[in-house]
Amino acid sequence: MSQTKYIFVTGGVTSSLGKGIIAASLAKLLQARGYKTTIQKLDPYINVDPGTLNPYEHGECYVTDDGAETDLDLGHYERFLNVKTSQANNVTTGRIYQSVIEKERRGEFLGKTVQVVPHITNEIKRRVQLLGNSGEYDIVITEIGGTVGDIESLPYIESVRQLLWELGDSNAIVIHLTLVPYLSAAGELKTKPTQHSVKTLMESGIKADVLVCRTEHEISNEIKDKLALFCNVKREAVIQSIDASTIYDVPLLMQEEGLDTVVLKKLALRDDIEPDLTQWKEFLGQHKNPKNEVNIGLIGKYVELQDSYKSILEAFIHAGAVNEVRVNVKSIHSEHLSEKSLQKELKDLDGILVAPGFGERGIEGKIKAVQHARENNIPFLGICLGMQMAVIEYARNVLGLKDANSTEMDENTPNPVINLMEEQKTVTNKGGTMRLGAWDCELLEGSLVKKVYNGADSISERHRHRYEFNSDYKAQLEAKGLKATGINKKTNLVEIVEIPEHPWFIGVQYHPEYKSTVASPHPLFVGFVKAALVHKTQ
């Protein structure tokens, strides 16, 4: 293919309709037909990236290999496509304006008055085409965050209008995702919100090529005809997106509706190759027909919002399918864990995962959960802060250092078993200043974690943290049975701890959940779920 084709996905009526899942599902279908496809997300908020956002505000912050703190939709892209994303796959208004202002300060605009059009729109267009100009992709799908009509989305919509004109017919199209609500009082689906949304898009100079209609009920042919007529799209380009039991059903539902066929036709691309979805269907079959089930306790402090731990929950789905096990995740708020409630909250669990997080709220509950898992031989996985809590718990209750802590929680602790990295001590900015992205880790011979990683000598995993295992305490902790089994040779920092005497107890400083995909479930989650099943059947 000589020229990269572009697909823009916009949303209307309301947010949270699932633009990311539709974009990922379409990309999966195109990839399964042999097209090299990637997806990027344009976010209209002014934060430079979501790294400083509270998880309650925006869900989890997803981290790429190259250290970009990005929108959680990039997690969907990687999980569906099994292709790594990067800085270029997520752009925010904050990053756009920052870039333009820096150019203005350097005098690159030669004294011109810097304006939204053309300077901001030109920068957006440049970012949109970065991946396409790399020569690596046949098709680039660009998801526009927010909803058509939002003030903050206007520069992106204008940039799309210009790109459609510049790229020419058959080289770029727009898919508009809207809601077709069901009014129970009237007992019918209503098309008017979609009509208004398409009209708003047209007022910005953009005609939708494909309509994807989110709905709770089947959309009749009559309604599809009506939408086609009043929204000025071809009849076959009105696509139903009905609520599914799992997001992993959506590519198959989109295939049934002919979304990929319509898109390829509009882009003047060959569609004579049937999508190869064999592995995808095998995964779905295993996921939907488990032979057993396990109960895992997820101990965190953002559990009210499921999106806060999105990648962890999805990694359990991938690992559950491999083990032919349904993983029932019980979300437990660490702030509410006390000596009194501990037994009640943690009973009947086959495994305990202590989740990542920042700050001192809910810390003591996490430490109690670690102790419960350790003393009762329950399979345990600690991720990032969860690993640090495991070190603190061991130092306090086994080593006898009752005042052991992290300097994140207590700057003056006499036993800082978790401490700030030296290079972090002078950092004042919060955004993008942690240890981020992929770092290598050497695995200790004979360790459980080496077995979990199928005998690998070294691994590469993604990080997002400031505080580290304090190696001054390594000898003491190891002498008492908490082994450091993963080390970054470059920095000599401890990445993994485990207890060899325990059936399955591993704490990792990195975030394994970021690298788990449908095609490559993460070995740590696969091993953890398998250990939980063994614990249950003993």
Query: Could you tell me which residues are annotated as the binding site?
Result: 15-21, 56, 73, 143, 150-152, 190-195, 226, 244, 357, 385-388, 408, 466
Active site residues: 384, 511, 513
Question: Residues annotated as binding site for L-glutamine?
Answer: 56, 357, 385-388, 408, 466
Let me know: does 191 contact 215? Beta carbons within 8 Å: no
For 370, the token pair is 């670690």
CB atoms within 10 A of CB 425: 10
Alpha helix (H) residue ranges in 17-172: 19-32, 55-58, 73-81, 93-105, 121-130, 154-167
Residue by residue, DSSP assigns 95-106 as HHHHHHHHHHHT
Question: Residues annotated as binding site for CTP?
Answer: 15, 150-152, 190-195, 226
Of 467, 464, 466, which is closest to residue 515 (Cα–Cα)?
464
Please report the beta strands in 255-301, taking only residues with DSSP state E, as ranges in sequence order.
Answer: 292-300
SS3 assignment for 4-20: CEEEEEEECCCCCCCHH
Q: Which residue has the tokens 């059903």?
A: 249
DSSP class of 399: S
Return all residues near 200 (Cβ < 8 A) that are at least 6 apart.
12, 148, 149
For 219, the token pair is 């959309």
Let me know: does 479 contact 501? Beta carbons within 8 Å: no
Q: Which residue has the tokens 């992709």?
A: 137
Buried-exposed string 203-218: b where 16+ CB fall within 10 A, e elsewhere: eeebebbbbbbbbeee
Cα separation, 69 vs 307, whole angstroms: 16
Coil, strand, or helix at residue 210?
strand
Of 391, 451, 386, which is closest to residue 418 (Cα–Cα)?
391
Question: Residues annotated as binding site for ATP?
Answer: 16-21, 73, 244
Alpha helix (H) residue ranges in 467-522: 474-479
Q: Which residue has the tokens 């009849």?
A: 235
Q: At what angle do helices 310-322 and 73-81 cross, to 10 degrees?
A: 20
